[in-house]
Structure 1
Amino acid sequence: MTDRRKQGLQKMNEVYGWEMPDIEGDPYFDLTVEHLFGTIWTRPGLSMRDKRLLTLAAVTAVGNSDLAEIQVNAALHNEEITAEELKEVAVFLTHYLGFPLGSKLDGAVSKVVRNRKKAAEKGSGEDRKANVNAAVKMHSGKTLDDE
């Protein structure tokens, strides 16, 4: 494993807040790990919180509520942003992106908070597995169950 790939996987794990599997031989996943996380997310100049907020703004702007849920969950897991702050982000972005897109983010925040509460009450890891599967699918087109 190259140093860049190792650094990328470490950063990917930090960004998502859980252990991502290393899917070798998938060119898209390789590019994601080595470039996006090994080069872009590791650049100095912006804090993790800054990068998370920018990512949330971007995924909200394109209407990707699935990715918003992944980012919201990771932000809460990593304690970078509180649920209340995420609700304020949705209100703020609504005024720049419009009600339909802002309300999608608000809905994603509410859903993630609700699911995290249920998972905490159950004490199960099912919510974690669903989030890992969603992130793996986003970056490789596969899920852990496909292996």
Structure 2
Amino acid sequence: MQTLSRQKPTYPPPYDGAHYEVAEGVGHQLVNLVQLMRREVESRMVRHDLTDAQWKPLWLLKSGRAATAIELAREACTDAGAVTRMVDRLEDKGLIERVRSETDRRVVHLRLTPAGEAAAAHIPHVLAAVNNDLLRGFSEREWKQLCRLIERMTANAQALQTPEGNA
């Protein structure tokens, strides 16, 4: 089986190292787009009294992707110490509470308080609005095509992370 790095594209590769312009690279353009999206999301979350460091864990808890500080750290790709400080701030703000597990006293679950539930309810609306604003002028077909293309690039990147892809 051929690895991704050895597969030849069916067309000439779009980039040539001898004439490569960083600003024209897809990766650079995607990073710029993500930075712009993050700034816009952050500015809109401020209206709901949430910082970037606060809305993400609230959403991870609300969506069920995390239930403990360790899971938050894993999902947010950050260290446990930073998560502990953030959880302390969210608890001080009355948005989450720590609940010791009844089956394993070493485990502390994180739960949204009613105020946390109310704050988390705004998050998907802000995220949807930012995405919709950035997709303004796209047809449904173009939007779906963009999603498919990004999925393909993601799959290519993930394949590079496997031992076979690095061969």
- Give the TM-score category using the shorter length: 0.3 to 0.5
Which structure would you say has the larger Rg? 2
- Greater helix percent: which structure? 1
- TM-score, scaled to structure 1: 0.33
- TM-score, scaled to structure 2: 0.30
